Structure 1
């Protein structure tokens, strides 16, 4: 009788041990899976960072290739220029040799011509000295001639004197007819004769006076031109001074602009460095965002698998109805409004159950409006919690060191306290 019981007990013990080992192996596999997921995420992040670096390196490589090509072209151009310059140098050397030979020939010829040139210079000086002496003698002769130089010949001088005498005779006859007395005539004749003498002398000096007046007029014109030129020179000096001041002002502006340009250039370099660092941060944040998006997609997929079909369809319908009909006052389902530590996830899921998918709204009018659209669209099943209708009862929690109210371990906005108090998980204690 006891042997079968002993065998059963041994079999049960073996099965229990096997179950324990399998459970432990499952836990270890689960932990390894978590570690592998974490490693995979880190590796994905590293791969994304390496891809960003690869893109940056490829860009730098393409720029380096372009610069290398440009430098090769520049090197080719420089080599061609060097060959052209070498050829030009050879041609210049040949021309230099030709010029040196010509210079040597010219120098030899110059040595031959120099004595002849010196003789001609001495001869020129003697001729110039003779010319100066003759010009001096000629000027002395001109001074001796006096006023007689105004007539080209003696006949011209006699003709001019006869014409003047005729004019004087007419003047004398007019005076004679106007006076009847002889004494008066004699007196007048003596006066006229004396006047004729002085007039004749004055006529002889008229030419010299005319020449003097012409020289005075010419001198006056020259002085006027000199004054005008001096005035123009002063105006030009004033204009030049104004231009100099403008140039100095422009130079100061140019120096200021150059200083400002250097400052802006330094700021540009600094901003470029900051932009590069921001690019690095942006790439890191982009990788982190991509990682979080992947996690969100995975979480949504797991949530879809864990959520009943009609409830999932109802939540999607509520979002679409609020968006299309612009309904406000919808805060979302319970599971989106709370947060807690990962070790309390199981307690929350077991305690709350489907209450996690209840949608919190501001008033019952909002819920009624959404339900009407849900029924019209046949969009699934949703339970609403209107905050204006919720009245949570007071619950006395057990006072013990190994019991903690689950409500104290949840993180949510105080505005949603009535809704969480309505859900049964708020009354459940957690045993430590």
Structure 2
């Protein structure tokens, strides 16, 4: 066996990978200048084969890595030795043995024949090849021979023993002697233990005889005890039967007393209910009596007002005295005179018409006479006014011209008068039409006024009826308010009783859930379970309470998102504690109902909305009564 190849990389001064070969099977001499790496070459071999580089610190590992002027820092190094194993000194069965050790700042690894191996396996293989820890002189470092020549005789003897390997045998002999001494001590202890066992066996034989005798006596004792126990059992059985009869009698009496107590308790509840109803009726009757008293006061006031009005009318009639008869007589005389005057006027009207026609004819004749007289006076005056015919003609022509102008103006005025007359006629016709329309509308207005009067009378009647209905409604409202107050009191009493059944945190949590749902407008919060159902028969109340337990106070919501919203607010405000039942997460699996006539599902005795069916199936679906 000898080293064939040595490969070094990153170890001390060997930065790059360095292959050193071939090696001679006999002797090899390493020659080089100072600092060329001769010591590091032998250190690399000792790094793999010896014990000198074990249990190193981080700084010591770092010192083994190459530290040169290169740019890249060396993170790991390895040394690989290839042995010629033709003499099969390494028991591997191969011609060559490849041994490598890799070291880094945080690692120290071995590989054997290019396979990862533990340090213990490598040391055992080297031990088998003669590289023993007990003989560390297979590698002689520099300065060791000088130390040997200068050593003392005892040190040399010790060294020779180590080199020859006799020290190993001395150590083993010392260990063997120690083991023999320990074995002798253990043998003495075993002998002592055997003596103790023999002594103990003799004692146990004596105890065995005593035990046999004790068992015979104990058998007799148990027979006697059995006889006594049997007699006592018979006596106790008889006494127990008597007690059982007494217990059955007491149970029967207790059941009867319980039934009487339940009946009396029910009677007390009924009486309290009747008392509550009587108080409610009394309150309602008091309110009704107050309303009737108010109506009576109104009617009394109206009666007094009517009586005072009648008294006033009677007093006014008394103050008038007998003047009414005189006024009536005077009125009759005046009416008679009016009738006489109207008769005389009817007789005089034809004469007046005749005189008026005659007056008109005479006025026409007078006007014609005056016109002829004026013409004669004018004719006579013209003859005396003009000296010549030419003056007369000139005057006549100017007079004719003025007459023509007067006639034209009169004609124009006549046309204007005719036009005005036509306009007046049209206006008169329009006014007549308007008058007719006004008469028609006045007639219609009178009809409407009459109808409105009738409607007013009907409305007044209806108003009176509505006032009566309003009074009735006021009375009903007072009754309803009294009923509401009574129900509110009962509700508060029930809530106080319910609050006493739950802990403080749950009560605070339920109130907080109601407040949060109202603030956030969450329609998916349906409230605690006990608000969502009614029991069809009160005799099942105990069964419902025992089955549901604290689940009665669980809050039913539509989805888990709604529960998360409410829960976030509650955690932020720190208001109580509740348990939510999201309907979208409930998947109740109820067992089949028993096929028995006396087993009734508890769900059949509850009234609830189908929307909340999952919650009730989750709580009550597995229970029958």
TM-score (norm 2): 0.43
Partner Cα separation in structure 2 for residue 265 and residue 44 of structure 1: 44
Residue in structure 2 matching 1:308, options 477, 493, 503: 503
User: 1:210-244 deviations in whole A, cap 9, x for unaligned?
Assistant: xxxxxxx9xx9xxx9x9999987996686356324
The equivalent of 2:547 in structure 1 is 351
Residue in structure 2 matching 1:266, options 458, 462, 484: 458
Partner Cα separation in structure 2 for residue 67 and residue 37 of structure 1: 45
Structure 1 residue 379 corresponds to structure 2 residue 575: yes
Structure 1 residue 334 corresponds to structure 2 residue 569: no
The equivalent of 2:310 in structure 1 is 75
User: 1:268-308 deviations in whole A, cap 9, x for unaligned?
Assistant: 64476467187265555545444433433332222222333
Partner Cα separation in structure 2 for residue 161 and residue 406 of structure 1: 148
**Contact 1:334–1:357 (Cα < 8 Å) also in 2:** yes
Partner Cα separation in structure 2 for residue 273 and residue 409 of structure 1: 48
The equivalent of 1:85 in structure 2 is 320
The equivalent of 1:102 in structure 2 is none
The equivalent of 1:405 in structure 2 is 601
* Structure number with larger C-alpha Rg: 2
User: 1:161-207 deviations in whole A, cap 9, x for unaligned?
Assistant: 9878x779x99xxxxxxxxxxxxxxxxxxxxxxxxxxx9xxxxxxxx
Structure 1 residue 428 corresponds to structure 2 residue 620: no
Distance 1:429 1:17, change over 3 A: closer
Distance 1:370 1:228, change over 3 A: closer
Partner Cα separation in structure 1 for residue 554 and residue 570 of structure 2: 15
Structure 1 residue 298 corresponds to structure 2 residue 503: no
Deviation at 1:56, TM superposition (A): 2.9
More helix by share: 1
Deviation at 1:251, TM superposition (A): 1.4
Matches of residues 104-123 of structure 1 in structure 2 within 5 Å? Answer: none
**Contact 1:334–1:358 (Cα < 8 Å) also in 2:** yes
User: 1:255-279 deviations in whole A, cap 9, x for unaligned?
Assistant: 1343255346536644764671872
The equivalent of 1:242 in structure 2 is 434
Matches of residues 180-199 of structure 1 in structure 2 within 5 Å? Answer: none
Partner Cα separation in structure 2 for residue 72 and residue 374 of structure 1: 71
Partner Cα separation in structure 1 for residue 566 and residue 420 of structure 2: 102
Distance 1:380 1:234, change over 3 A: closer
Distance 1:92 1:419, change over 3 A: closer
Residue in structure 2 matching 1:43, options 257, 266, 278: 278
**Contact 1:322–1:328 (Cα < 8 Å) also in 2:** yes
Deviation at 1:46, TM superposition (A): 2.7
Partner Cα separation in structure 1 for residue 427 and residue 298 of structure 2: 60
Distance 1:230 1:332, change over 3 A: closer
**Contact 1:407–1:427 (Cα < 8 Å) also in 2:** no
TM-score (norm 1): 0.59
Distance 1:405 1:294, change over 3 A: same
Distance 1:47 1:388, change over 3 A: same
Partner Cα separation in structure 1 for residue 418 and residue 515 of structure 2: 99
Residue in structure 1 matching 2:292, options 57, 80, 97: 57
Residue in structure 1 matching 2:558, options 354, 362, 365: 362
Partner Cα separation in structure 1 for residue 553 and residue 425 of structure 2: 101
The equivalent of 1:323 in structure 2 is 518
SS at match of 2:527: strand
Deviation at 1:382, TM superposition (A): 1.3
**Contact 1:45–1:288 (Cα < 8 Å) also in 2:** yes
More strand by share: 2
Q: Give the root-mean-square deviation of aligned CA atoms.
A: 5.1
